[in-house]
Amino acid sequence: MNEPVRLKKRSYWGEVWHRLKKNPLAMSCLTFLAVMLFAILFADILSPYDYTEQDLSIRFQTPSAAHWMGTDGHGRDLMTRLLVGGRYSLLIALLSVAIGILFGMVIGALCGYFGKGVDSVLMRVMDVIMSIPGMMLAICISVALGSGVFNTALALAVGTIPMIARQLRSSTMLINGQEYIEAARSFGESDFKIIMTHVIPNTLAPIIVQTSLYIGGAIMGIAGLSFLGLGVQEPTPEWGNILNNGLGYIYDFSTRWHVIVFPALFIVLAELAFNLLGDGLRDAMDPRMRQ
């Protein structure tokens, strides 16, 4: 007699990956981001040029076999500068989102778990922060703290904290009355241990989805601050200040278009890819999508 075939049951994350693979748009974005990240990390090996190397004899050279994206106003290879600049753009984006998620998760978990006075005080503080437009808040903090990688990341992170806190607060309030939380209390576990081992791990799925969306928004925010001269400063390359330098030559767009178009494309495509990947992750993590 033939034994019945036993289907291997996938784990939760295995199911998420299985559903994500069925989304061609999300997988295309994931592939694009992987290729871009590889190129950014290994730019020194992939490009034969130094991003600080200047050659005034080839200023504003249009794309060619020698310089695939042309050269800028100082004769520097534009592709090399964009790849190296991507390191700073992505580093600041990841750092700002990490700071925002860390503080937002702590505040949201405390509000949702304890409620009452703690919830009222902290949520009113979050309401005040959310009442200020995100970019305006980032500009004010950047002016106060000054430019630089960490200061720029911190300026963008502050606006992210209330959104993460509100989302985690809602998730925490939903699971706060579940049986396993009551069981943990009955066994005498401390509130801190319950929050760290039961509450936060069970609210990570929506945070992971939002992380991809926030990274895309942070890239645009970093570019905006650098474009205004408040973010990363020259000679350190960053997509925003590279675009700012290029726009100084918009009066001669017909011959110097590449110093504007390519930095703008890097910013737009990176943000679009992270946003579309976030949409794909949201669908893949939706329990209603399980078969």
Whether residue 210 is predicted with pLDDT greater than 90 in this model: the reply is no
pLDDT over 70, % of the chain = 95
pLDDT at 255: 86
Q: Cα–Cα distances in Å, from 207 out to 35, 82, 165, 245?
A: 25, 30, 10, 36
pLDDT confidence band for 167 (50 / 70 / 90):
confident
Q: How much of the chain exceeds pLDDT 90, in percent?
A: 38
- Round to whole Å and give the CA distance between 107 and 157: 14
Mean pLDDT, to the nearest integer, of 126-154?
89
Please state the rounded mean pLDDT for residues 211-215.
Answer: 87
Q: pLDDT value at position 83?
A: 94
Residue 1 banded pLDDT, cuts 50, 70, 90:
very low
Strand partners, 167: none
List, for residues 65-112, the tens digit of each pLDDT value. 989 999 998 999 999 999 999 999 999 999 999 999 999 988 988 898
Amino acid at 32: F
pLDDT of amino acid 28 = 95
Instruction: Give mean pLDDT, residues 4-8.
Output: 53
- Its pTM stands at 0.85
pLDDT confidence tier of residue 29, bands split at 50, 70 and 90: very high
- Contacts for 247 with CB less than 8 Å, ≥ 6 apart: 260
Q: Quick check: 7 pLDDT over 80? A: no
Confidence at residue 4, expressed as pLDDT on a 0 to 100 scale: 55
Nearest to 161 by CA among 114, 218, 120, 116: 218
Both tokens of 210, joined, read 């939002």
Q: What is the pLDDT of residue 290?
A: 52
Count CA within 13 A, CB hemisphere, residue 44.
3
In the predicted model, what is the mean pLDDT of residues 117-136?
89
289: pLDDT strictly greater than 60: no
> Could you read off the pLDDT of 267-286 as tens digits, one per residue?
999 999 999 998 888 888 77
Amino acid identity, position 226: S
Long-range CB pairs of 107-110 (<8 Å, 24+ gap) are: 107/161, 107/165, 107/168, 107/169, 108/164, 108/165, 108/166, 108/167, 108/168, 108/169, 108/171, 108/172, 109/168, 109/169, 109/172, 109/195, 109/199, 109/200, 109/203, 110/195
Is the pLDDT at 6 greater than 60? The verdict is no
Q: Note the pLDDT tens digit of each residue in 221-230.
A: 988 888 888 8
Q: What is the mean pLDDT of residues 258-272?
A: 93
- Is residue 117 over pLDDT 50? yes
Cα 254 to Cα 257: distance, rounded to the nearest angstrom: 6
The answer to which of 3-7, 50-54, 192-196 has the lowest mean pLDDT is 3-7
